[in-house]
């Protein structure tokens, strides 16, 4: 159990009401919980961009499997990357389109590097990287 500190925050009424409105329906018991999540995410994202600490990246790629050698190119990049590929999932979305979800782990800068290469590969229609870190305990 962590010791809780209370602190006061001043902000414009319309900003606060916009915030309350935006977290409405997200399942938070109260405003403090939502603010705690924002602070944790801020700290994780700071860690993620530092480069030298270990982070986890989840990359999603949507592509047309008919593009010549694209699956091979993407697999080859993962084999050669300086990160650990923990898992990858391939879903055939429809007749031609595939979704690939790849979980990678490594230094923040390397995770960004390989994710950027995968996403920028010719033929990938849409790619996203979500980063997180296991090291923030609170």
What is the C-alpha to C-alpha distance for residues 74 and 121, in angstroms, rounded to an integer? 8
- Residue choice 34, 48, 61, 98 for contact with Ni ion (CB under 5 A): 98
Q: Could you tell me which stretch among 11-19, 32-40, 74-82, 91-99 binds Ni ion (CB under 5 A)?
A: 91-99
Q: Report whether 115 contacts 129 (CB < 8 A).
A: yes
Closest CA to 78 of 46, 55, 62, 101: 101
CB neighbour class for 28 (10 Å; exposed up to 12, middle 13-18, buried from 19):
middle
Contact pick of 31, 42, 66, 92 for Ni ion (by CB under 5 A): 92
Q: Which of 115, 2, 118 is nearest to 48 (CA)?
A: 115
CB-wise, 48 or 63, nearer to Ni ion?
63
Does position 102 bind Ni ion by CB under 5 A? no
Only one of the segments 41-49, 89-97, 104-112, 120-128 lies at the binding site for Ni ion (rule: CB under 5 A); that segment is 89-97
Q: Which is nearer to Ni ion, 68 or 138 (CB)?
A: 68
Q: Which residue is nearest to Ni ion (CB)?
A: 98
Of 113, 104, 96, 97, residue with least CA distance to 133: 104
Q: Which is nearer to Ni ion, 39 or 75 (CB)?
A: 75
CB of 102 within 8 A of CB of 78? yes
> What is the contact mask toward Ni ion in residues 44 to 83, using x (rule: CB under 5 A)?
---------------------x------------------
What is the contact surface with Ni ion in residues (CB under 5 A)? Answer: 65, 92, 98
């Amino acid at each position: 159990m962590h010791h809780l500190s209370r602190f006061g925050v001043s902000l414009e009424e319309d900003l606060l009401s916009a915030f309350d409105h935006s977290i409405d329906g997200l399942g938070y018991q109260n405003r403090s919980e939502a603010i705690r999540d924002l602070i944790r995410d801020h700290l994780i994202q700071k860690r993620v961009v530092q480069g030298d600490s270990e982070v986890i990246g989840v990359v999603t790629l949507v592509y047309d499997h008919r593009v010549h050698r694209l699956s091979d190119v993407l697999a080859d990049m993962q084999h050669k990357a300086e990160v650990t590929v923990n898992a990858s999932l391939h879903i055939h979305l429809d007749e031609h389109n595939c979704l690939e979800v790849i979980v990678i782990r490594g230094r923040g800068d390397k995770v960004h590097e390989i994710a950027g290469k995968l996403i920028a590969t010719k033929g990938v229609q849409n790619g996203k990287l979500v980063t997180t870190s296991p090291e923030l305990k609170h």
